Structure 1
Amino acid sequence: MSERKLRLPEALIFDMDGTLFETDTLLVPVHHRVFETLREERLYEHETPPVERLLSCLGMLLEDIWRQVMPDSTEAARKRADVLLLQYELEGLASGEGELYPHVEATLRELKQRGMKLFVASNGLEDYVKGVARYKGIAELFDGLYSAGEYATASKVDLVARLLQDHGIQSAWMVGDRSSDVEAGKGNGLEAIGCAYATYGRAAELDGADALIGDFRELIKLLDT
């Protein structure tokens, strides 16, 4: 854990993938199912792209993800992939697939007990973000679950701005694992906490964060100092 002097926040805003949810525990089997179906439906003729390519795009908007993952695809294939990805993710969550990162639930509960307002701000689809929270038993801990899919925001900076305005939040920490999370914090005058335990991004993505944590429980230590 490393930090500069931080202001005590009234709220914590979390990214979902790579921050609260260990996405590859769900996404690896889903990825293969999506491309098997696309080939069966004659929408994609190539080999399944490496799942690492998809994981490295987490945090982007979905339309940008597919351009990176399958640049040689048609718009019809990308639109169908949107539908299949969500369908298979929700089926996987319903059957118990996917894991939160270690200590996430217990730490969120402690933060809630301390009177902290908790939010999610994700570039994912609404049903996916809410589905993860519901199936993993943490939905009731949050004061709001914000997603680019629900609010049609062009960037996470805009999404967090909407959240802050809706709830009258004056001070908060933005907690996430990607450069988009650091930008969302800085672009709204918030402190940014970088989650260095996630493996999806590159370490340089967290340049500019006010603090780095290697374990989710370190959020409690940051608040106490």
Structure 2
Amino acid sequence: MNRTVRLSQPEAIIFDMDGTLFKTESLVVPAYHELFDRLREEGLYEGKTPPVEVMLSGLGMVMDQIWAKVLPDHEEAVRRKADAWFLENELRGLQRINTELYPGVAETLAKLKQEGVRLFVSSNGLEQYVKGVAEAHQISSLFEHIYSAGEYRTASKVHLVDLLLRNHGISKAWMVGDRSSDVAAGKENGLTVIGCAYAGFCRAGELEGSDRIISSFPELLELYLGSV
């Protein structure tokens, strides 16, 4: 990562959702505990709820991969039910829980849009969840389009970002995210990568390969205004 070289100004910026724009644990933790209460009630799970950190550590993966980590000894049918019930819990939670964006997200996105940057979301989450978060926090209108692995049935964020770039004729963009999947999605598609180190979900070295790493979201505007 060479901080002495100024970044090239993008025509578009693509954002991950969880751990980048949205403070995911404000919604996931209660939804997760509600899920395991229901799984036990339905006779589909026995014992203590797995540590919520297992779920949080999987954020950035597609949902099939997350459930394989959380429910490794359960059949696919149970995982599918868990997936559906968890989504129900999240969507209800968006209506009744005070969930949070990271500080400065809405304001920074609005300023970037005013600067003429095309803004997108690319998330490995489910369509209803990703769009539901944006709508609940009134930032949907700031994005030209919201892409999710759930909607486009992509196996990785690399493919999802490639689809986004081709669909919108974008050749010069920044990828902004907090996980190694975001770094890979950016680098394998020839983009500048801005790693986000403020969420606390990423492992040591996970953002290696990023062109810059920011410790708060508003730093992104400073990077954009300083680019050439």
TM-score, length of structure 1 as denominator length: 0.97
Partner amino acid, structure 1, of 2:131: K
State the partner residue of 1:133. Answer: 134
* Secondary structure at the counterpart of residue 79 of structure 1: helix
Q: Is the 8 A contact 1:160 1:184 kept in 2?
A: yes
2:192 corresponding residue in structure 1: 191
**Could you tell me how far 1:96 is from its partner in structure 2?**
3.9
The alpha carbon displacement at 1:198 in A equals 1.2
The offset of 1:106, in angstroms, is 0.3
CA distance in 2 between counterparts of 1:211 and 1:32 reads: 36
**Pair 1:110 & 2:111 matched:** yes
**2:78: which partner in 1?**
77
Letter in structure 1 aligned against 2:225? D
1:177-216 maps to which residues of 2 (within 5 A)? Answer: 177-216=178-217
What whole-Å deviation, never above 9, does each CA across 1:193-213 have from its counterpart, x for those lacking one? Answer: 000111111131100000000
Q: Deviations over 1:122-160 (max 9, x none)?
A: 000000000000011000000000000000011100000
Unaligned segments of structure 2, at least 5 residues: none
SS at match of 1:120: strand
Kept in 2, the 8 Å contact 1:196–1:203? The answer is no
Q: Aligned residue for 1:121?
A: 122
Contact 1:38 1:44 in 2 (8 A): yes
State the partner residue of 1:88: 89
2: distance between equivalents of 1:201 and 1:43? 31
Structure 2 Cα separation of the partners of residues 132 and 75 of structure 1: 27
What is aligned with 1:39? 40
Question: In the alignment, is the contact (CA less than 8 A) between 2:178 and 2:197 conserved in 1?
Answer: yes
Q: What letter corresponds to residue 180 of structure 2 in structure 1?
A: S
Distance 2:97 2:109 in 1: 20
Mapped contact 2:27–2:97 kept (Cα < 8 A)? no
Provide the C-alpha distance between the structure 2 equivalents of 1:78 and 1:187, rounded to a whole number of angstroms.
31
SS at structure 2 position matched to 1:203: coil
Q: What is the letter of the counterpart of residue 172 of structure 2?
A: S
Q: 2:12 corresponds to which residue? A: 11
Identical residues among aligned pairs (%)? 58
Counterpart secondary structure, 1:219: helix
Letter in 2 for 1:166: N
Question: Deviations for 1:77-117, whole angstroms, at most 9, x for unmatched residues?
Answer: 10111101110000000114310000000000000111110
CA–CA distance in 2 between the matches of 1:84 and 1:146? 22
